[in-house]
A and B are shown apart, each in its own frame.
Chain A
Amino acid sequence: MTKKELSVRAIKNGTVIDHIPATHLFKVISILGLDKIENQITFGTNLKSKQQGHKAIIKVAKKYFADEDINKIALVAPSAKLNIIEDYQVVEKKVVEIPEQIVGIAKCFNPKCITNNENMTTRFSLVEKSPLALKCQYCEKITNEAHLEVL
């Protein structure tokens, strides 16, 4: 049996975010602010995945995320799975969950909403997880999955 080759090198300690849709890798990086931290980060994209065609993976050394931070990526990568690594071993697995309050991530679909006309942070409350429905705190309109745009 040949040894399975890893497309992205293993990390000793840190967090692996796996099963990110390949199209949303850079959104995940930006939502988590990974482009602004000094940790060693390796990532791969357009990797073959049995479950979703093309996936992306991010490995962040010496970094552990709070649940509320990691849940921010749930809108763009609902299928993402986290592995917490210590000394090359997976010590914990996590899935992401859509938070009750969604702040600064989604765009309101209503062109007449103040959030689309003023430089400000969007805020939604979660009405329904599946199919996704978010209620804008400002114009009170519902943005659903079909109209969802991530900022």
Chain B
Amino acid sequence: MKNKSLVSITDFSKEEILRIVELAAEFEANPNQKLMDDKVVSSLFFEPSTRTRLSFETAIQRLGGRIIGFTDSSSSSTSKGESLNDTIKMVSNYSDLIVMRHPLEGSARYASEVSDVPVINAGDGANQHPTQTLLDMYSIYKTQGTLDNLNIFLVGDLKYGRTVHSLLMAMSQFNPTFNFISPDSLKMPDEYKLFLDKKGIKYYEHLEFTDIIEEADILYMTRVQRERFSDPIEYEKVKNVYVLRNSMLDNTKDNLRILHPLPRVNEIHTDVDANPKAYYFEQAENGVYARMAIMASILGLK
């Protein structure tokens, strides 16, 4: 993995994913290791994303690395009309690793081609966000003790949600069963179902959010966003249908954990937060360890 960019979750093999997950556990047990004390990381956020940025910056700080960069494009030379090519060429001369968030899709792949140092994609528009996927994988591994043979329920916006698509691709290497719960207009796209068919992975689609979740090992909730609907009446109809309430969890499995990439709006009622099966805040914390593992292995320090 040394010197390899992480642009898309499919860039990492099953073995590499497992290696990251194991390393993340190692960093969680011993979070302050000054492995990066001679490293400079460029943190280039062409659009603001406080959660992702702080998670990366915490991971870099815990590893003893130093950070240069910007937190939105108005404070970078992009606002003067500089091309992405030129920004990346310059910054790759200054640093050992680039972490980049950019609103345009494919920008991270392009940056990885232009750059002399590895690039970690911290989100390129609606396309990919592989470190989110790896922290989700780590959260699943940590709470279930394994990644193999799990029953995973994905709920909400399955059409546009890049996190569920990447998670589906990555988990498909571990023989899961998928259950998709979404309104008809936000169903899992055919290309992903075809992918599962080809791999012989079982999946079931549901329109109703009911007691079928009693079979779940992982319940992955996502936000149904108003802007995804061309018809506002359609949104009003579904917005309160895919809401998880504490009472729905009574008969669920003991090992069930509820994940959500955050920010949450109303799709998980706050009465769930106190339930020990709620895991979304710990999940966010796991992001720091997963990112430490990703950076340490790309820099060849572990």
**Which of A112, A119, A142 gathers the greatest number of chain B CB atoms within 10 Å?**
A112
Chain A residues within an 8 Å CB radius of B8 = 140
Contact stretch, chosen from B104-112, B135-143, B208-216: B104-112
- Please tell me if the beta carbons of B127 and A140 are within 8 angstroms of each other in the complex: yes
- Please tell me if the beta carbons of B126 and A118 are within 8 angstroms of each other in the complex: no
Asked if A10 is an interface residue, CB under 8 A from chain B, the answer is no
Q: How far is the CA of A141 from the CA of B103 in the complex (A)?
A: 15
Number of B positions contacting A (CB below 8 A): 18
Q: How far is the CA of A118 from the CA of B108 in the complex (A)?
A: 13
- Please tell me if the beta carbons of A120 and B127 are within 8 angstroms of each other in the complex: no
Distance in Å from the Cβ of B98 to the closest Cβ of chain A? 15
For the side of the interface on A, what is the size category?
10 to 19
- Please tell me if the beta carbons of B85 and A112 are within 8 angstroms of each other in the complex: no
Asked if A65 is an interface residue, CB under 8 A from chain B, the answer is no
For the residues of A in contact with B, the DSSP-based class is loop
Asked if B48 is an interface residue, CB under 8 A from chain A, the answer is no
Kindly identify which residue among B109, B125, B191 contacts A112, using a CB–CB cutoff of 8 Å: B125
Contact stretch, chosen from A77-85, A94-102, A131-139: A131-139
Distance in Å from the Cβ of B130 to the closest Cβ of chain A? 12
Q: How far is the CA of A117 from the CA of B103 in the complex (A)?
A: 11
- Please tell me if the beta carbons of A136 and B106 are within 8 angstroms of each other in the complex: yes
Chain B residues within an 8 Å CB radius of A29 = none
Chain A residues within an 8 Å CB radius of B105 = 110, 112-114, 138-141
Kindly identify which residue among B84, B126, B128 contacts A114, using a CB–CB cutoff of 8 Å: B84
How many A-B residue pairs have C-beta atoms within 8 angstroms? Tell me. Answer: 52
- Please tell me if the beta carbons of A139 and B83 are within 8 angstroms of each other in the complex: no
- Please tell me if the beta carbons of A114 and B104 are within 8 angstroms of each other in the complex: yes
- Please tell me if the beta carbons of B83 and A113 are within 8 angstroms of each other in the complex: no
Asked if A15 is an interface residue, CB under 8 A from chain B, the answer is no
Q: How far is the CA of A114 from the CA of B127 in the complex (A)?
A: 11
Chain A residues within an 8 Å CB radius of B102 = 114
- Please tell me if the beta carbons of A114 and B83 are within 8 angstroms of each other in the complex: no
- Please tell me if the beta carbons of B104 and A140 are within 8 angstroms of each other in the complex: no
Distance in Å from the Cβ of A124 to the closest Cβ of chain B? 12
Asked if A71 is an interface residue, CB under 8 A from chain B, the answer is no
Q: How far is the CA of A115 from the CA of B102 in the complex (A)?
A: 13
Chain B residues within an 8 Å CB radius of A120 = 85, 110
Q: How far is the CA of A120 from the CA of B8 in the complex (A)?
A: 20
Distance in Å from the Cβ of B233 to the closest Cβ of chain A? 27
- Please tell me if the beta carbons of B107 and A114 are within 8 angstroms of each other in the complex: yes
Kindly identify which residue among A110, A117, A137, A142 contacts B109, using a CB–CB cutoff of 8 Å: A137
Chain A residues within an 8 Å CB radius of B107 = 114, 118, 138
- Please tell me if the beta carbons of A113 and B104 are within 8 angstroms of each other in the complex: yes
Chain B residues within an 8 Å CB radius of A118 = 83-85, 104, 107, 110
Distance in Å from the Cβ of B145 to the closest Cβ of chain A? 33
Q: How far is the CA of A115 from the CA of B110 in the complex (A)?
A: 9
Distance in Å from the Cβ of A90 to the closest Cβ of chain B? 43
Q: In A53-102, which residues have CB < 8 Å from any B CB?
A: none
Q: How far is the CA of A110 from the CA of B106 in the complex (A)?
A: 10
- Please tell me if the beta carbons of B83 and A119 are within 8 angstroms of each other in the complex: yes
Given A114-B84, A118-B83, A138 and B126 contact (CB-CB distance below 8 Å): no
A142's nearest neighbour on chain B, judged by CB, is: B191
Q: How far is the CA of A138 from the CA of B8 in the complex (A)?
A: 10
Q: How far is the CA of A142 from the CA of B191 in the complex (A)?
A: 11
Chain A residues within an 8 Å CB radius of B126 = 112
Distance in Å from the Cβ of A107 to the closest Cβ of chain B? 13
Interface pairs (18), CB distance under 8 Å: A112-B104, A112-B105, A114-B84, A114-B104, A114-B105, A114-B107, A114-B109, A118-B85, A118-B107, A119-B83, A120-B110, A136-B106, A137-B109, A139-B106, A139-B124, A140-B8, A140-B127, A141-B105
Residues of A within 8 A of B (CB): 108, 110, 112-115, 117-120, 136-142
Q: Across the A-B interface, give the 9 residue pairs with the lowest CB-CB distance, nearest first.
A: A138-B106, A139-B105, A139-B106, A114-B106, A114-B107, A114-B104, A138-B109, A114-B110, A112-B105
